[in-house]
Structure 1
Amino acid sequence: MSPPTLATRARLSEVRYEIRGELARRARELEAQGRTLIKLNIGNPGAFGFRAPEHLQQAIAGRIADTDPYTHQQGLPAAREAIATFHHQRGTPHASAERVFIGNGVSELIDLSLRALLNPGDEVLLPSPDYPLWSAATILNDGRPVYYRCHPDNGFLPDPDEIEALVTPRTRAIVLINPNNPTGATYPRALLERIVAIAARHGLLLMADEIYDSILYDGAGFEPLAPLAGDVPCLSFGGLSKVHRACGWRVGWAVLSGDPIASGEFHHAMDLLGALRLCANVPGQFAIEAALHGEDTIAPLCAPGGRLYEARRAVVESVAASEHLSLVAPAGALYAFPAVCGEAAHGFDDHAFALELMETEGVLVVPGSSFNVPYRNHFRVTLLPQPDELREVFARIERVLARRVESSTGARTAVA
């Protein structure tokens, strides 16, 4: 007699994470069969030949003998002080080491902070498209994601009036991802000020995912949210994974700013949850000070001639030359979010397209609907490959879309 099947949590059925989901599993099967794939589904710099800067590696190597014990649940004091100083220099109000939380990447801190905030049925305002971890963490902490649109016709920027119209008595927080993943949009100061005003009027926590804060192109600016928030409680997320190309070190941080009295209970909840997981990875924390106060190694990569800049150029030019694609050029971050348009968009399904692209052309992308949008004509690619490889990727995408148009045209002719 077979043992009973283990039941799993029902709310997992509501969680979508296609970045590492069904298509990624199929990719592993194809690779096991000997296929070579170009995998553009994950923003993982180390998988594309990037290395964490040498001075960060040396900062860890020089302190490796000090990494055996647990540290304070909020992180190494010197590392938290370095983060607080960085935020103080930005103008973050009430920035102090006591209000810094270091975690095993920003991903852990997103989950921890929502667990500290939400009661069952509470609502979180999230951008659409979003980075789907935000939706998943909201759901798994018994909250309800409520999406405000960041429409491509508006450069993927939100409408503050729409955000405020979504606020209910159950709303607890507004999440901003700036620079944005997946679109690469960067938010102007005036827009951020209006969102801060909404949070102030309704007593909401601002949650600013700023992990891509220094990855900017063509003169785009970055406006940190905390200095604009003033006394409004704000949790700002950053880390070593993207700007410093050290994803595997799992070092992220969250800085709580605003009126300390208004956010005191939330601070204690974060501290308690941090204590329950003992502490974050210790070795990587020794690189934080060198990362935030040492040599700037990301700007050259984002400037003309730099690898990320030229990769972005390859994508922008490839889309411009396409008969079937359009693009809001990313101003920041490590991704582009092209749209399929024209004849190729008729009856288009992004998941079916992604599967066909992988099976026939050996390219793995993420369907746009994975980022919690209501439309199905977008997909996301990372800008991390070499520029020539990205041009080849878009040549393969063009072949798939051209075949689709030819098949659709032939079918309509046959019916006529």
Structure 2
Amino acid sequence: MKKQHLRGCKETESPPNITIKGILGLLMESVDHSDDKQVISLGMGDPTVHSCFSATVAAQEAVVEALRSAKFNGYSPTVGLPQTRKAIADYLSNDLPYELSADEVYITAGCTQAIEVALSVLARPGCNILLPRPGFPIYGLCAEFRNIEVRYFDLLPDNGWEVDLHAVEELADHNTMAMVIINPGNPCGNVYTYQHLEKIAATAKRLAIVVIADEVYGHLAFGPNPFVPMGTFGSIAPVLTLGSLSKRWLVPGWRVGWLATTTTVGTLKNAKFVERLKKNCDICGGPATFIQAAVTGIIQGTQDMFFKKNIRLLKQTSDLCYQKTTAISCFSCPSKPQGSMVFMVKLNSSMLKDISDDLDFCFKLAKEESVIILPGSAVGLQNWLRIMFAAEPSSLEEALERVKSFCDRHAR
């Protein structure tokens, strides 16, 4: 076994074996419902609970039209409807230096199923995977179910949450199958530069590993760095791109995701790997057929003004969130959010009485103020907090005022 390194760690310091939904459920149980305060959740990454974030009429009409046609009541091919695969391939190709074919896209039930498929097809006896810390805990849970050893590399908060590539090189060995990159960042709210992504690809090439690029928040960037898909560097290293309609189109409950082999090199293109992908899809199935059939209409019918409006709103709420959190003395934030819908705030619990750590903070905050925030321990970073800023500005402001009151009340 490799010795633990300062820049990264193996499974011994992994996030707790519980899902984000599980922790948020426990936090909701802690709320004092005898209090008149309305519960405000800044924990779950579902913007649609707020009326300012809603799907377009075009998206709704595309689903209704597909359903009423009565042409999509049967099973779809397990890899996805041909027209759906083509629609996603065309959509992804808009930002790539090469054209994806429909055969390189596999439709999944949300990005969670895409994660399951990716890890299943890459797994082999004795293998390990490199995951970011902080990160999205579903990767660790999926790896555990498939007996894949997990090794965590740190993201660097003082450097825009960039990947510690030295840690990646130290943690990898001949059994490493892949590394995961989440961009725009969940939970950090960062957006990687072209140059940093290129370095990640070069590192993956040296290590002969696959890059699993989680781009669920693709294009939700509102800072100085534009969103660059990892598949841009698919000629350097093999890249599996995972995504969904959930965030950009504001339809998380429709469960439309995808896995795409956005690469021109490596084993991802050989017939044996493609056959494994198809067989895995045979086991898993995918989204409802009529929802798949609506994807072309959803993509083609959504106007740019919808995306621009949401980006403006996310910029507004992220700025508000950053302003309010940095005004709380026991909080610190290394940088303003640049993308996605969440970001990380460091908690200095030593400045608070009767608060031991981030978990204690979040449970007492839920009980006393009816505000739900995700403890950083849930995403692998103790004494940090993950805050969701995709909310009604007025609700967000009230929630953060309550957080400040809570911190003032518990101040030493």
TM-score by shorter chain over 0.5 = yes
Q: What is the deviation of 1:42?
A: 0.7
Match of 1:131 among 130, 133, 136: 136
Larger Rg: 1
Q: Tell whether 2:400 aligns with 1:383.
A: no
The alignment's TM-score, normalised by the length of structure 2, stands at 0.88
Determine which of 82, 88, 93 is the counterpart of 1:77: 82
Find the partner of 1:275 among 271, 274, 282: 282
Q: What's the counterpart of residue 394 of structure 1?
A: 400
Quote how far apart the aligned CAs of 1:108 are.
Answer: 0.7
After superposition, where does 1:17-416 map in structure 2 within 5 Å?
A: 17-28=18-29, 30=31, 36-49=38-51, 50-64=53-67, 65-91=70-96, 93=98, 95-230=100-235, 232-259=237-264, 262-263=267-268, 264=270, 265-293=272-300, 294-296=302-304, 297-303=306-312, 306=313, 308-327=314-333, 328-341=335-348, 344=351, 348-373=356-381, 376-406=382-412
- Displacement of 1:59: 1.1
Note if contact 1:241-1:247 (Cα within 8 Å) is conserved in structure 2.
yes
After TM superposition, the structure 1 stretch with the greater mean CA deviation from structure 2, 273-282 or 259-268, is 259-268
Distance 2:329 2:236 in 1: 50
Shift of 1:281: 2.0
- Cα distance change of structure 1 residues 100 and 148 upon mapping to structure 2, 3 Å threshold: same
Compared CA separation, residues 315 and 206, structure 1 to 2 (3 A): same
1:259-295, Cα deviation, whole Å (9 max, x unpaired): 4772222222111011123443222223322343441
Task: For structure 2, list consecutive stretches of 5 or more residues without a partner in the other structure.
Answer: 1-13
* Structure 1 pair 287–299 and aligned structure 2 pair: CA distance change class (3 A): farther
CA contact (8 A) 1:343 1:405 kept: no
Per the alignment, in what secondary structure is the counterpart of residue 247 of structure 2? coil
Distance 2:143 2:325 in 1: 34
Q: Secondary structure, in 3 states, of the residue corresponding to 1:241?
A: coil
In 2: Cα distance, 1:34 partner to 1:400 partner: 15
Is the partner of 1:66 in helix, strand or coil? Answer: coil
Deviations 1:286-331 (A, max 9, x none): 332234344122222212xx3x222112101102322221122110
Per-residue CA shift, 1:166-217, capped at 9, x if unaligned?
1111100011000010110111111111111122122211100001111111
Q: Indicate if the aligned counterparts of 1:348 and 1:377 stay in contact, CA closer than 8 A.
A: no
Whole-Å separation in 1 of the counterparts to 2:28 and 2:261: 40
Decide whether aligned partners of structure 1 residues 120 and 41 sit closer, same or farther in structure 2, where only a CA change above 3 A counts: farther
- Once the two structures are TM-superposed, the CA of residue 345 in structure 1 deviates from its matched residue by 6.7
Instruction: State the shift of 1:232 in Å.
Output: 2.7
Closer/same/farther in 2, CA of residues 206 and 112 from structure 1, 3 Å limit: same
Q: Gaps spanning 5+ residues in structure 1: where?
A: 1-12, 407-416
Q: C-alpha offsets along residues 355-397 of structure 1, whole Å, 9 cap, x if unaligned?
A: 0000011111110011113xx2211111122112212212221
Q: Which moved more, 1:321-330 or 1:173-182?
A: 321-330
**Partner SS for 1:338:** strand
Maintained 8 Å contact 1:123/1:143: yes
- C-alpha spacing 1:22/1:236, structure 2 compared with 1 (3 Å): closer
CA contact (8 A) 1:335 1:380 kept: yes
Provide Cα deviations, 1:7-55, integer angstroms capped at 9, x if missing partner.
xxxxxx9863352124423514747768741112111122122321111
Paired residues of 2:62 and 2:298 also in contact (CA < 8 A):
no
Cα deviation for residue 151 of structure 1 reads: 2.1
Q: 1:15, 1:135 within 8 Å by CA — same for their partners in 2?
A: no
User: Residue 141 of structure 1: CA displacement?
Assistant: 1.5
> What is the number of residues matched between the two proteins?
389
RMSD: 2.3
Q: Which amino acid aligns with 2:387?
A: V
Shift of residue 238 of structure 1?
1.4
Question: Could you tell me how far apart the structure 2 residues matched to 1:211 and 1:117 are?
Answer: 20
Bigger shift: 104-113 or 258-267?
258-267
- Mean alpha-carbon deviation: is it higher for 98-107 or for 280-289? 280-289
Aligned amino acid, residue 126 of structure 1: L
Q: Tell me which amino acid in the other structure corresponds to 1:388.
A: S
Q: Tell me the residue number matched to 1:6.
A: none
Change (3 A) 1:161 1:57: same
Corresponding position of 1:409 = none
